[in-house]
C-alpha cells in the first residue's frame, strides 16, 4: 500500500531551497556590483616611492591592472564554475551531500569575511588584484559545487521544488541591482558601500547555513530522502545473501544504472536547451545591453539611472518573475516541441539589442532609437530567460528513474554552467559586431 507524501508545512522546504538558491548566486552578483570599488582600489597610490621612475612604472602597472580587471574577473569566474560543475557531476556519488553543501557554504562565507576585512586594509595594487582574483576563483568553484548539489537534491523532490532554487537565484540579481541603485542615490563612498555589500552577503550565507541544518529535520524532506533510498535497486536488500561473484555483478549493475551517459541520453534535449538559453542570454546581457544609452538628451538624472534601472534592475525583476511563474504554471510540457522552439526563437534578441542605441558602435546602424523599444525587448528577453530555463531545470530530473534524479540534476547544472561560459565567450564577438 502506497504511503501518501506529507505536506510541506508552512512551505518550510520550499523557503529553505529558495534561500539556498539565493546563496548560490548572491556572492557573484555582489562581486559584479562592486566592480567600481575593485577598480578604484587599483588606482589608489598605496606605495610611496622616492624614485620617480619606479613611481611612474608602478602607475602604469596600476593602469594595466585596472583596464584588464573586468576581463580577468570574467575568466576567473566562468572557468572554475564550468570545471567544478563538471567535476561535481562525476564526483557527487563519492562525496556526501552534506559535506558538499555545508562545506561550500562555509568556505564562501569565510572568503566573504576576508574580503570585507580587506576593504579596511590598505594594500598595493598587485597584491590586491591577485587576492581578489583568487577569491573570485574560490567563490565560483564552491558556488558551482553548491549549485550542482542543490539541483541534485531538488531532483529527489516534486518537480516544482526546482523553482525555488531558480527563483532564489533570480532574487540574487535583483538584490544586487537594488544595491547598485541605492549606492548611486546615496552618494556614499565606494569603500563603505562595498563593506556593506560583503557583510550583507555574509549574513545571507549564514542564514543559508542555518536553513540547511534545519532541512533534514523537516518531515516533508525526510519522506523523499527515505523514498529515494528505498527505490534504489533491490540488490541493497539482498546483497548479504549473495555470493562474492553475485555481489560484484550487483555492484556493476548499480554503476550501470546510474551511468552518466545513460542518464544524459534521457535528458540531452533539456540539457542542451538550458545551455542554449543561457548562451543567448549571457552573450547579450550585459555585454551589449549595459552599453545602451538613453535617447533622451535632457541631461537629467535619467541618464545616470538608465542602465541600472532599465538594464540591470528590469532584467533581474523579469527574470525572477519568469523563474517564479513555474511554481504555478508549467507549460509547455517536457515532451512538447514548443519548448525547444521557444528557446531557439530567443536568438532574435541578439540583433534586436544590437540595433538599439548601443554606444560606441562601428558597424551597424541604430534602428530602435527610443528607450521604449529597449525596455520592451528587455522585459520579454528577461522573462523568457527565467521561465524557459526554470522549466528545463524542473523537467530534467523527472525524465529519469527516481534513483537517477540526483545525477540528472547535476548534469543539468553542468549544462547551465556551460551555457554561461559559452555566452561569456561569444559576448566579445557579439559586441564587436555592433
Across the range 280-292, mean pLDDT stands at: 87
Q: How far apart are the first and last CA of the chain?
A: 63
Q: Which domain holds residue 375?
A: 258-434
Same domain, 273 and 155: no
CATH classification of the domain holding 181 = 1.20.1250.20
Residue 48 lies in a domain: yes
Residue-wise burial string across 250-271, b where 16 or more C-beta atoms lie within 10 A, e elsewhere: beeebeebbeeeebbebbeebb
pLDDT surpassing 60 at residue 62: no
- Residue 2 confidence class, pLDDT cut points 50, 70, 90: low
Q: How far is CA 162 from CA 14, 405, 433, in A?
A: 9, 12, 37
Longest pairwise C-alpha distance within the chain: 85
- Residue 356: phi, psi to the nearest 5? -80, -175
Torsion sign over Cα 286, 331, 352, 420: positive
> 5 with 223: CB under 8 angstroms?
yes
Across the range 334-350, mean pLDDT stands at: 94
Residue 80 CB-half CA count within 13 A: 21
Q: How far is CA 206 from CA 28, 98, 240, 275, 413, in A?
A: 16, 16, 43, 30, 23
What is the reported pLDDT for 354? 95
Same domain, 214 and 262: no
Across the chain, what does the average pLDDT equal?
Answer: 82
pLDDT surpassing 80 at residue 230: no
What is the reported pLDDT for 95? 84
Residue 395 lies in a domain: yes
Same domain, 214 and 298: no
Residue-wise burial string across 20-38, b where 16 or more C-beta atoms lie within 10 A, e elsewhere: bbbbbbbbbbbbbbbeebb
Residue 269 lies in a domain: yes
What is the reported pLDDT for 170? 85
Across the range 222-230, mean pLDDT stands at: 81
Same domain, 198 and 277: no
What pLDDT, in 10s, does the model give residues 23-32? 888 887 877 7
If we measure between CA atoms, which residue out of 31, 17, 19, 18 comes closest to residue 204?
19
Same domain, 185 and 298: no
Same domain, 284 and 165: no
What pLDDT, in 10s, does the model give residues 70-101? 667 777 888 888 888 888 767 777 888 889 99
Residue 3 lies in a domain: no
Same domain, 273 and 407: yes
Same domain, 367 and 222: no
> 220 with 12: CB under 8 angstroms?
yes
Q: In a 3-state reduction of DSSP, which class is residue 122?
A: coil
- C-alpha to C-alpha distance for 352 and 193, rounded to whole angstroms: 35
Same domain, 428 and 305: yes
Structural domain tally of the chain?
Answer: 2
- C-alpha cell recorded at residue 414: 553542468
Residue 5 lies in a domain: no
Residue 245 lies in a domain: no
Q: Identify the residue with better confidence: 64 or 363.
A: 363
Size (the chain), residues: 434
CB atoms within 10 A of CB 311: 22
Same domain, 220 and 264: no
Same domain, 326 and 203: no
Same domain, 173 and 268: no
Residue 237 lies in a domain: no
Residue 190 lies in a domain: yes
With cell 531551497, the residue in question is 17
What pLDDT, in 10s, does the model give residues 125-170? 889 999 999 998 999 899 888 988 888 888 888 878 888 888 888 8
pLDDT surpassing 90 at residue 35: no
- C-alpha cell recorded at residue 432: 564587436
Which of 211, 230, 249 is a domain's end point?
Answer: 230
Amino acid at each position: 500500500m502506497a504511503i501518501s507524501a506529507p505536506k510541506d508545512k508552512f512551505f518550510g522546504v520550499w523557503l529553505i531551497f529558495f534561500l539556498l538558491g539565493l546563496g548560490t548566486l548572491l556572492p557573484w552578483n555582489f562581486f559584479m556590483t562592486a566592480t567600481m570599488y575593485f577598480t578604484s582600489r587599483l588606482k589608489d597610490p598605496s606605495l610611496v616611492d622616492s624614485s620617480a621612475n619606479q613611481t611612474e612604472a608602478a602607475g602604469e602597472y596600476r593602469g594595466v591592472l585596472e583596464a584588464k580587471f573586468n576581463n580577468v574577473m570574467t575568466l576567473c569566474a566562468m572557468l572554475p564554475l564550468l570545471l567544478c560543475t563538471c567535476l561535481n557531476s562525476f564526483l557527487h556519488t563519492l562525496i556526501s551531500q552534506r559535506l558538499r553543501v555545508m562545506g561550500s557554504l562555509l568556505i564562501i562565507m569565510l572568503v566573504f569575511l576576508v574580503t570585507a576585512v580587506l576593504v579596511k586594509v590598505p594594500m598595493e595594487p598587485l597584491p590586491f588584484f591577485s587576492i581578489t582574483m583568487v577569491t573570485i576563483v574560490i567563490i565560483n568553484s564552491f558556488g558551482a559545487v553548491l549549485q550542482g548539489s542543490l539541483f541534485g537534491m531538488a531532483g529527489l523532490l516534486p518537480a516544482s521544488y526546482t523553482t525555488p532554487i531558480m527563483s532564489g537565484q533570480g532574487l540574487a540579481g535583483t538584490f544586487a541591482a537594488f544595491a547598485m541603485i541605492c549606492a548611486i542615490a546615496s552618494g556614499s563612498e565606494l569603500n563603505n558601500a562595498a563593506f556593506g555589500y560583503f557583510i550583507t552577503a555574509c549574513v545571507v550565507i549564514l542564514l543559508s547555513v542555518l536553513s540547511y541544518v534545519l532541512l533534514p529535520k523537516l518531515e516533508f524532506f525526510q519522506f523523499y530522502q527515505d523514498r529515494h533510498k528505498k527505490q534504489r535497486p533491490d540488490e541493497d536488500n539482498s546483497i548479504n545473501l549473495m555470493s562474492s561473484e553475485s555481489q560484484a555483478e550487483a555492484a556493476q549493475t548499480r554503476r550501470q544504472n546510474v551511468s552518466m551517459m545513460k542518464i544524459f541520453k534521457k535528458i540531452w534535449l533539456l540539457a542542451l536547451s538550458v545551455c542554449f538559453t543561457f548562451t543567448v542570454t549571457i552573450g547579450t546581457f550585459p555585454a551589449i545591453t549595459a552599453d545602451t544609452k538613453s535617447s533622451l538628451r535632457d541631461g537629467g538624472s535619467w541618464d545616470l539611472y538608465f542602465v541600472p534601472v532599465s538594464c540591470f534592475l528590469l532584467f533581474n525583476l523579469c527574470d525572477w518573475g519568469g523563474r517564479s511563474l513555474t511554481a504555478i504554471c508549467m507549460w509547455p510540457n517536457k515532451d512538447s516541441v514548443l519548448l525547444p522552439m521557444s528557446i531557439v526563437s530567443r536568438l532574435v534578441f541578439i540583433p534586436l539589442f544590437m540595433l538599439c542605441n548601443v554606444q560606441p558602435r562601428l558597424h551597424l546602424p541604430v534602428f530602435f532609437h527610443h528607450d521604449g523599444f529597449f525596455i520592451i525587448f528587455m522585459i520579454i528577453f528577461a522573462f523568457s530567460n527565467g521561465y524557459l530555463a526554470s522549466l528545463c531545470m524542473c523537467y530534467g530530473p523527472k525524465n529519469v528513474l527516481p534513483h537517477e534524479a540526483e545525477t540528472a540534476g547535476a548534469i543539468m547544472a553542468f549544462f547551465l554552467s556551460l551555457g554561461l561560459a559559452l555566452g561569456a565567450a561569444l559576448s566579445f564577438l557579439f559586441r564587436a559586431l555592433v
